[in-house]
Amino acid sequence: MSAAAFPDSQHTEHSDSDAPQSNADSLNSLLQNRDEDSRDDKCVDVECLENQCSLNCEDGGTGSQRRAVCCSPVSQVVLGCLLVLVSVGSFVFSPLDFMLWEKLNMRPGFPPYEWWRDPPDEVRLRVHVFNVTNHERWLAGVDQKIDVEEIGPIVYLEKLVHSDVQFNDNDTLTYTATRYPIYLPDENRIDLNATIIVPNLAVLGLASYLHNAPFFVRSGFRFLVNSRGSPLFVEKTIYEYLWEFTDPVLDLSKSLAPGLVPVSNMGMLARIYADFVDQMTVWVGPRWGHERFFQIHRFRGHPQLPGYDANECPDRITGSTEGVMYRQHLTKQDVLLYWRKTVCKLMPLYFDTELVVDDVPVYRYNLSEVVFSRVRNGTDCYDTEPSLPAGVSDASKCYYDFPMVISYPHFYTGEPARDRYVTGLQPNRDKHSSYVIVEPLTGTPFRSVARMQSNLRIHDLSGFSSEYDKFSNLILPLFWAEYNQEGLPDYIRLTIYYMVVVLPPVSKALLSFFLLCGCYLIAKQIYTHKLKSERLSATLPFKNKNVNNLARNKLFNYEKETFLKKPS
């Protein structure tokens, strides 16, 4: 038969002859496909699960690598740890603490140093003088006491300049503080050319100074006064009384005894500001901490009060402040020691109350009302012989031993009584007390009022004459002054407001946000790593089992089909 008559037979024979080769190729192809499927599954389950940035296994682009670095689990864990550490560390040592710690160094160029170097012109000096209204009647014996009336205020701007700044090796700062007043015509309503009657400081002051001198010295002084015709009360303009108080007795006495009378001008403000150039040394730097920051270490090179021997007075100027800047982190238990050379005494201020000034929480510290009381344990540096009454303090050490004493204005503390020496005084706590309002964290004074009265202390003058004797043992008020820091410039006030009011809550909110972000990143990676581990442990065996079963099923079906197609 021809081949055309058996087409199926030829086809079957051809297929049978090629079957071994085809079977081998199909089996190899099946095994190869199994291996490829296994590699693909491994890629999907391992590499793609580990890559959180959705990178393809074969993608090597620069942008994808950059995303892989920033989105990788390691980077996120490191970032989370940094955020947690920064936030926790900032809660312990806040940004405000860092700023205050940096302030201790008083670095030139930084705001705290520059503000201190050129203090703002915010201090007003208000002077009140006392005019004697009945001097003739009192000298004639008609009135029992001298009567006075207050005239003022005469307003000045007190300018403070810090110069010759030097940083020392022992973490102290030495500088020169210079103060001088500037008359403010727009703020004055008192005519400086108006005349007043005042005690003759040249006569009564020198007589009091010489009260226990030998007889011939007192006699010579009395002869000198009579020869020059100097009265016990004089008429002066307000300007002369404050700035140009001269008398022939002063000129002659200074020529005869310059050691006894060192000056010829006894104007009240002239004497105060004639020598108001002081060298100060204060503590600065982290070595001394917040407790001693900017407290006085030396005044004119000495730790004790000027005019006192080191063993004469237990009070030390060390640890006080001139009032421009106070220590940081003040508490309600702290006692602020204020030093003012015109008072010639350390002035303690005690916490009184909490206030809010210019939207900033502050502390008010009041000057003690018993600051001028006598100390009975033998350590009273501010008494004389004979003893002064409570309520006044000796200031002669700062005025060439001239018999000056300091008190509250109008003797408002009640001792001595307001009418003990003169009449016409009207003490008032609100008008005559002293205080300072300080922001406690930075030690910045927002308001401060220092009010002191200068008085002439007259000793027993019975050794001169009956006319002088009328003044014996009197304390005559001369004038009182108010140093008033009325506020702060806007740039300082707003900076303090930002530091102590705005910065703490804002920094806490930001730090809390950073802490939550850090915890979230760390928790996310921990959860993702745990989830991947669970998926890998469950998915890979299942995949391998399915692949093997699939492969076996394919082999079985292929062999079955091949077997059925074979001729019997």
Summarize pLDDT for 347-379 with one digit per residue, the tens. Answer: 999 999 999 999 999 999 999 988 888 887 667
Q: Chain-centre distance of CA 5, in angstroms?
A: 118
CA–CA distance, 518 with 515 (Å, rounded to integer): 5
When pLDDT is cut at 50, 70 and 90, the band that residue 540 belongs to is low
Of 325-334, 483-492, 503-512, the range with the lowest mean pLDDT is 503-512
When pLDDT is cut at 50, 70 and 90, the band that residue 394 belongs to is very high
**pLDDT exceeds 50 at position 7:** no
**pLDDT exceeds 80 at position 565:** no
Question: 499-510 burial by CB neighbour count: b if 16+ within 10 A, else e?
Answer: bbbeeeeeeeee
**pLDDT exceeds 60 at position 12:** no
CA–CA distance, 382 with 375 (Å, rounded to integer): 9
What is the average per-residue pLDDT within 2-17?
43
CA–CA distance, 385 with 246 (Å, rounded to integer): 29
Residues contacting 340, CB < 8 A, separation 6+: 322, 323, 347, 450, 452, 483
What is the average per-residue pLDDT within 159-169?
93
Residue 4 DSSP class = G
Chain segment 274-319, per-residue pLDDT in tens:
888 889 999 999 999 999 999 999 998 888 888 887 777 888 889 9
Q: What is the pLDDT of residue 229?
A: 86
When pLDDT is cut at 50, 70 and 90, the band that residue 158 belongs to is very high
Q: What is the 3-state secondary structure (H, E, C) of 531-567?
A: HHHHHHHHHHHHHHHHHHHHHHHHHHHHHHHHHHHCC
CA–CA distance, 369 with 347 (Å, rounded to integer): 10
CA-based torsion, 338, 342, 344, 345: positive or negative: negative
Q: What is the pLDDT of residue 557?
A: 59
Q: Calculate the alpha carbon distances from 246 to 154, 243, 249, 267, 274 in Å.
A: 21, 9, 9, 8, 15
**pLDDT exceeds 70 at position 20:** no
Q: What is the pLDDT of residue 18?
A: 47
**pLDDT exceeds 90 at position 79:** no
**pLDDT exceeds 80 at position 29:** no
CA–CA distance, 319 with 282 (Å, rounded to integer): 9
CB neighbour class for 52 (10 Å; exposed up to 12, middle 13-18, buried from 19): middle
Token look-up 């030093």 returns 339
Number of Cβ within 10 Å of residue 155's Cβ equals 20
When pLDDT is cut at 50, 70 and 90, the band that residue 219 belongs to is confident
**pLDDT exceeds 50 at position 155:** yes
Backbone angles phi, psi at 308, to 5 degrees: -110, 145
Q: Which one has a higher pLDDT value, 72 or 240? A: 240
Highest mean pLDDT among 87-96, 407-416, 437-446: 437-446
Q: What is the pLDDT of residue 552?
A: 55
Q: Which one has a higher pLDDT value, 304 or 177? A: 177
**Count helices and strands in the chain by DSSP H and E runs:** 16, 16
Residue 486 DSSP class = -
When pLDDT is cut at 50, 70 and 90, the band that residue 94 belongs to is confident
Residue of 555, 560, 541, 559 lying closest to 38 (CA atoms)? 541
End-to-end CA distance of the chain: 23
CB neighbour class for 443 (10 Å; exposed up to 12, middle 13-18, buried from 19): buried
Residue of 481, 486, 89 lying closest to 272 (CA atoms)? 481
Per DSSP, the three-state class of 353 is strand
Q: Which one has a higher pLDDT value, 66 or 170? A: 170
Q: What is the pLDDT of residue 123?
A: 92
Number of Cβ within 10 Å of residue 320's Cβ equals 20
Q: 64 near 55, Cβ under 8 Å?
A: yes
Q: Which two tokens stand for residue 5?
A: 């008559």
Q: What is the pLDDT of residue 449?
A: 95
What is the average per-residue pLDDT within 137-158?
95
Pseudo-torsion of CA 134, 138, 143, 145, nearest 10°?
90
What is the average per-residue pLDDT within 198-214?
90
Q: What is the pLDDT of residue 452?
A: 94
Amino acid identity of residue 297, one-letter, is: H
Q: What is the pLDDT of residue 65?
A: 59
Question: 237-273 burial by CB neighbour count: b if 16+ within 10 A, else e?
Answer: ebbbbbbebebebbebbbeeeeebbebbebbbbebbb
Percentage of the chain lying above the pLDDT 90 cut: 43
When pLDDT is cut at 50, 70 and 90, the band that residue 504 belongs to is confident
Q: What is the pLDDT of residue 532?
A: 66
Average pLDDT over the chain, rounded to whole?
81
When pLDDT is cut at 50, 70 and 90, the band that residue 30 belongs to is very low
